[in-house]
Chains A and B, each alone.
Chain A
Amino acid sequence: MKIFSTHHRAVGFGYLAISAVAVGVGVLLSLAMRAHLAWPDWPLPLHGPILPEEYLALVTMHGTLMLFFVLTVAPQSGFGNLILPAQIGARRMAFPRINAASMWLTALALLVLLAAFFVPGGGPIGGWTAYPPLSESALAGPGQGAGMDCWLASIAIFGIASTMSAVNTLTTIVKLPCEGMTWQRLPLTVWGWFTAALLSVIAFSVLLAALLLLFCDRHLHSSFFLPSGDVINGVLLQHGGNGSPLLWLHLFWFFGHPEVYIAILPGMGLTSMVIANFARRRVFAYKLMIATTLLIGLLGILVWGHHMFVAGLNPFAGTVFSISSLAIALPASAKVLSWLATLWRSRPRMTTAMLFALGFVSLFITGGLSGPILAQPILDEYLHNTFFVVAHFHLIMAMAGVFGLFCATYYWFPLLFGRMLSERLGKVHFWGTLLGAYATFLPMHLTGLAGEPRHYARLNGLAGPGTTLLEATQPLQVHITVAAIFLALAQIPFLLNLLRAWRSSERAAPNPWVATTLEWAPESEELAVVYREPCVYSESGEEFLAQWKSEAAINSEAE
């Protein structure tokens, strides 16, 4: 395939390659972070002991890489480009050249971000949220000069690329479905991509505005986010005007909260479809699932203040955002109930894809139920910016999201490559990853409850009650680190599996999972036509009605 191909398959694989690089780097960064927390004096090989600014740079880059380049790119743009056209019966995405351009822009953004490690001063240290005034001025810390500029440029490019990609996805879904594919017959994966793309279009522009304003503050001496009389590192910053750091928080979190829903919505759609496929059942309450997908998207725009309960907002605002945040638990619970009802007493076929979908359900439940706790301001007053929050979002977003990606890989591998991944290696991979995920992130709830704050480069070494409090978590820190190393090593069977499939010559059957959705239809020159909604299986699960089979065809087959 040529390098600048505009075919959606090439673009999709390009996006997955970007995510693969990002996840590899992100995992290495997280292992360095965890090793440093468990054994603070351990020197990183070829580098030496990790300094506080280096630790903070690790944290910042880990979050940025994983959230933007893995969880926003791979489920939505990666698998979306590969599978969406086939699932709706289209031959292409709506704007192939814009699609390819956005993929290359994303690759550029990744390069610019990784360059932050190598510029003078090193990587930025403000976390992926980059609150000003810490991000306002190079005086605030190492890495806040050129490193922060790299971060700003990278995320700005990424935002533009994501918006372009989302416009492409939306136009494809609105305009290119084949004959017979009504809105109610769209698979839930497509609804997930649709809602996530809508959120992208709305949210990334606001982030772009915020980045522009921060850029102006940093380089053009404006004061959108800088209060007057701010003294950083002994220097009175005089930018003429009185801004508010809270303004950044509002703008950033207006983007930041829909961002996490963008990361998880495609995975939720896929889980519904995969569970129905392997349980050989209809999705329970299909229309309700469509409604909850849209409702989660809508409510996701209204809850951003729950990141700011103790940030200096009016306490009444805290109450308002608390209500909307608790409300979003309801459509999410409705989805969990549908998954449970779909698979209830169905003796599903336990392929690796199904296992990862079940793992998604489990992690979504466990990670999700710490959400309502954090949504209550009086409790968030204690838990804000502790490792309880870290545990929450890692379980529900990082782990569940990644399980969605693994599910997609195992499920669609035969379609994309014509070969099967080994089920045995897959199951080893699944159990290792599931156990590793829980072993790593469940104890983080406890260290957070014990009071461990985020972004701490060290938990020991000082005198005073603070260190006594934090050092008490040390056994758990070591446990978490060991579990994280195990979790990373548990991915080796997956890599071996990919390698084995690449070198094997056994071809897969055309529809090995007995799926009903359109991407599994046999290749044909004729235009696709859809006759029914997806996941129509007989009561016993033995027969199935694919979306693309007309009644006449089925009746003639039966004879």
Chain B
Amino acid sequence: MPITLTPPEIDRRHRTGEGDGGGRKPPTDKRTGGNGEGDNWSDRPQGRRGPRERLAQARVGLFFALGGDLMFFVALVSVFFVTKSSGHFDPYGRYIYEWLPTAIPKILWINTAVLLLSSFTAELARRSMFREHDAMEEWIGFGRPLSRRAGIWLSATLLLGTLFLAGQWTAWDQLAAQHVFFRSNPSSHFFYLITVTHAVHLLLGLGGLMVALALLRASRSMATRQVLVDATVWYWHVMGVLWLFLFALLEYGQ
């Protein structure tokens, strides 16, 4: 028997990892779906299910969804401007213009700063998901440098986002303490309506962040983790910019 033939028992050991291109495989972290995810990446047909395509699809979908969401806020803001500029004649024939601007609690300034900071941390998380060297290592299965770093920044974002919502709640409490409720007058309708709908959107964003964090640990597909973080963070940024606009409207536009 020529000495170059591989004996059966060693051959069997080598054959347990099919599709690895032959040769010994490095130790892999199965939880992250390492080993290149075993998905035949060198033989993939072009333009179909690759990570780049999935990312592009997620971004396009998010773009259209946010476009629709934007129209929702456009409608609310239009109603705001119409209501702000309209008065009526009371039974005595006097023209009544009842728009009493609601004074914005000062805590909203802090909340805005917190939200901006959270966008900053979110962007750090997002960018860290795409650092090529770390991505390659994690994809092959050499540990999880990407997910760990992104997870840290995402957690920071989650914390800051929760702080923002707590701050908003405090602002509502402060207004309630001054007996300014939703139904008090037209401008308070809008203050509560605008801040509550934005807060609901942000709560959804927090949910997205939590899902992203959970799947950073649990998901086996690198692309899924990247796409999820990317989509959540873009959503977060848009909600942040939207808040800037809404805050400016409430502060200076009343």
Contact = CB atoms under 8 A, between A and B. Distances in A.
Do A's and B's CB atoms come within 8 Å in the complex?
yes
Interface of A: 94-95, 98, 163-164, 166-168, 170-171, 174-176, 179, 201-206, 208-210, 212-213, 216, 220-224, 227-229, 239-244, 247, 251, 254, 527
A206 B65 contact: no
Contact of A241 (B64, B67, B186): B186
Given A175-B57, A206-B75, A163 B185 contact: no
Interface stretch (B83-91, B110-118, B208-216, B233-241): B83-91
Contact of B69 (A203, A205, A243): A205
A202 B79 CA distance: 17
B50 interface: no
Interface string B159-198: 0000000000000000000000011111001000100010
Interface string B63-80: 011011111101110010
A171 B68 contact: no
Contacts of A212: 193, 197
A125 B61 CA distance: 38
22 contacts: A94-B61, A95-B61, A98-B61, A164-B65, A167-B64, A168-B61, A171-B64, A174-B60, A175-B57, A202-B68, A202-B71, A203-B71, A208-B72, A209-B76, A212-B193, A212-B197, A213-B193, A223-B186, A240-B184, A241-B98, A241-B185, A242-B87
Nearest to B75: A209
A204 B69 CA distance: 10
A94 B87 contact: no
A220 B57 contact: no
B75 A210 contact: yes
A205 B182 contact: no
B47 A167 contact: no
A540 B90 CA distance: 76
A242 B184 contact: no
Interface residues of B, number: 37
Contacts of A251: 75, 79
Interface of B: 45, 47-48, 53, 56-57, 60-61, 64-65, 67-72, 74-76, 79, 82-83, 86-88, 90-91, 96, 98, 182-186, 189, 193, 197
B72 A216 contact: no
B240 to A, nearest CB: 20
A167 B65 contact: yes
Contacts of B67: 201-202
A411 B36 CA distance: 45
Contacts of B193: 212-213, 216
B189 A216 contact: yes
A168 B71 CA distance: 18
A537 B69 CA distance: 44
A335 to B, nearest CB: 26
B72 A229 contact: no
B64 A527 contact: no
A240 B183 contact: yes
Indicate the member of A209, A210, A247 with the most B CB atoms within 10 Å.
A209
Nearest to B99: A241
A164 B68 CA distance: 9
Nearest to A526: B45
A171 B65 CA distance: 10
A177 B48 CA distance: 10
B61 A171 contact: yes
B57 A171 contact: yes
Contacts of B75: 205-206, 209-210, 251, 254
Given A179-B47, A222-B189, A228 B88 contact: yes
Nearest to A169: B64
Nearest to A172: B57
B200 to A, nearest CB: 10
A397 B70 CA distance: 29
A380 to B, nearest CB: 24
A242 B88 contact: yes
B170 to A, nearest CB: 21
A242 B53 CA distance: 51
A212 B192 CA distance: 13
A163 B65 contact: yes
A527 B83 CA distance: 55
A166 B65 CA distance: 9
A455 B179 CA distance: 44
Given A212-B197, A241-B189, 20 more contacts: A95-B61, A164-B65, A167-B64, A170-B64, A171-B57, A175-B53, A175-B57, A202-B71, A204-B68, A205-B70, A209-B75, A222-B182, A223-B186, A224-B79, A224-B189, A228-B90, A240-B183, A242-B87, A251-B79, A527-B48
A526 B114 CA distance: 51
A227 B88 contact: yes
Contact of B72 (A171, A205, A243): A205
A224 B64 contact: no
A527 to B, nearest CB: 6
Nearest to B91: A229
